[in-house]
C-alpha cells in the first residue's frame, strides 16, 4: 500500500514537472541515507563501523540511484533493497554499497578497481570520491548500458572494460583499493597481487554455495595480507570466461 501510494505520488510529481520530481528523489535519497546510518549502527558489531564517513554518506545522498534501475522500478530506487537490472543480475542494496565503499577508506587521489560493473551505480559512487575508477563487467549488454549512463551523468573518471575481471586489470594496477561485487569461490590471487602495499579489498567470499562473508582484505606495507570477516551477504556468483587466459 505504501509502495502504491509512493508510485502514485511519483507519477503526480513527475506530472508536476522535472523540479518536483527532483525534489521527490532528493527527499527519498535523504531518507535512504538516514536508513543507512541506522543500519551501520545496528551492524557495527560485525563491521567495526558504527558510523560511515561523511564523504561516503554525501556520495550516497548525491548519486541518482533511480537512474541506475530499470524505469518501472524507479519508485523502489531509494528503498534499502537490491533490484533486478536485467540479465539475471542485481544492483546491490544501498546499505551494502555504502558499507563496501566505506571499508575501502576512499581518498580523493585514489585509483580503484571494481569487478562487476552491473548497473554502474557502485562505480558512480566511487567516482564521486576518488580520482579514477576502473570497472570490469563480463556481460556486454550491462556494460554498454552502464557506459552510456555514466557518460550521460557526467562521470568522466570511470573507465569500463568488458570481460572477466577475475584476473583484474594488470595494465592499470596497482590499485589503492579493489571492490568485487560478485562472489568468487575464493579470493582471486591476482587481485591481491594488484593491490598497492597499504591497499584494501572488499569482496564477498568464503561462505557456502548461496551466501558469503563480506571480507576486508588488507595488504600491509610489508606485503603481508590479512583478512577480516564482516557481514554475511548474498551476491550473484562471479562468472568465469573459460576462454580468458
Ligand atoms: N556493482 C553493481 C552490482 C553488480 S551485480 C552495481 O552497482 O550495480 C554483479 C555484476 O558482476 C553483474 O553485473 C555480473 O554480470 C558481473 N560479473 C559476474 N562475474 C564477473 C566477472 N568475472 N567479471 C566481471 N564482471 C562479472
Q: What is the three-state SS of 60-113?
A: HCCCCHHHCCCHHHHHHCCCCCCEEEECCEEECCHHHHHHHHHHCCCCCCCEEE
Pocket of ligand 1 (CB under 6 A): 89-92, 115-116, 118-119, 121-122, 136-139, 142, 164-166, 181-182, 236, 238-239
Pocket test for ligand 1, best of 117, 127, 214 (most atoms within 8 A of CB): 117
Print pLDDT tens along the chain (245 aa): 444 445 544 555 455 567 888 889 999 999 999 999 999 999 999 999 999 999 999 999 999 999 999 999 999 999 999 999 999 999 999 999 999 999 999 999 999 999 999 999 999 999 999 999 999 999 999 999 999 999 999 999 999 999 999 999 999 999 999 999 999 989 999 999 999 999 999 999 977 778 999 999 999 999 999 999 999 999 999 999 876 54
Q: What are phi and psi for residue 58, nearest 5 degrees? A: -65, -45
159-211 pLDDT, tens digit each: 999 999 999 999 999 999 999 999 998 999 999 999 999 999 999 997 777 89
Q: Does 92 qualify as catalytic in the annotation?
A: yes
Place of cell 543480475: 89
Percent of the chain that is helix, strand, coil (3-state, to 5) = 40, 25, 35
Sign for the CA dihedral angle at 17, 62, 154, 142 comes to negative
What element of type H or E holds 179? Answer: strand 175-180
What element of type H or E holds 42? Answer: helix 18-42
Alpha carbon of 136 to ligand 1 centroid (Å) = 8
Amino acid at each position: 500500500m505504501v509502495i502504491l501510494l509512493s508510485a502514485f505520488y511519483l507519477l503526480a510529481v513527475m506530472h508536476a514537472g522535472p523540479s518536483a520530481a527532483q525534489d521527490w528523489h532528493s527527499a527519498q535519497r535523504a531518507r535512504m541515507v538516514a536508513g543507512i546510518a541506522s543500519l551501520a549502527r545496528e551492524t557495527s558489531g560485525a563491521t567495526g563501523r558504527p558510523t560511515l564517513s561523511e564523504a561516503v554518506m554525501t556520495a550516497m545522498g548525491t548519486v541518482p540511484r533511480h537512474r541506475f534501475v530499470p524505469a518501472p522500478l524507479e519508485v523502489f530506487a531509494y528503498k534499502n533493497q537490491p533490484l533486478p537490472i536485467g540479465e539475471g543480475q542485481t544492483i546491490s542494496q544501498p546499505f551494502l554499497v555504502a558499507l563496501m565503499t566505506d571499508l575501502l577508506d576512499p581518498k580523493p587521489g585514489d585509483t580503484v578497481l571494481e569487478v562487476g560493473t552491473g548497473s554502474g551505480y557502485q562505480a558512480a559512487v566511487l567516482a564521486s570520491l576518488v580520482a579514477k575508477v576502473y570497472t570490469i563487467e563480463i556481460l556486454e549488454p550491462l556494460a554498454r548500458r552502464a557506459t552510456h549512463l555514466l557518460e550521460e551523468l557526467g562521470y568522466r573518471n570511470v573507465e569500463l572494460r568488458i570481460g572477466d575481471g577475475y584476473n583484474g586489470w594488470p595494465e592499470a594496477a596497482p590499485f589503492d583499493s579493489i571492490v568485487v561485487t560478485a562472489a568468487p569461490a575464493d579470493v582471486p590471487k591476482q587481485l591481491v597481487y594488484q593491490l598497492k602495499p597499504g591497499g584494501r579489498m572488499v569482496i564477498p567470499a568464503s561462505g557456502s554455495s548461496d551466501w558469503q562473508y563480506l571480507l576486508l582484505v588488507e595488504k600491509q606495507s610489508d606485503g603481508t595480507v590479512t583478512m577480516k570477516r564482516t557481514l554475511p551477504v548474498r551476491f550473484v556468483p562471479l562468472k568465469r570466461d573459460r576462454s580468458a587466459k
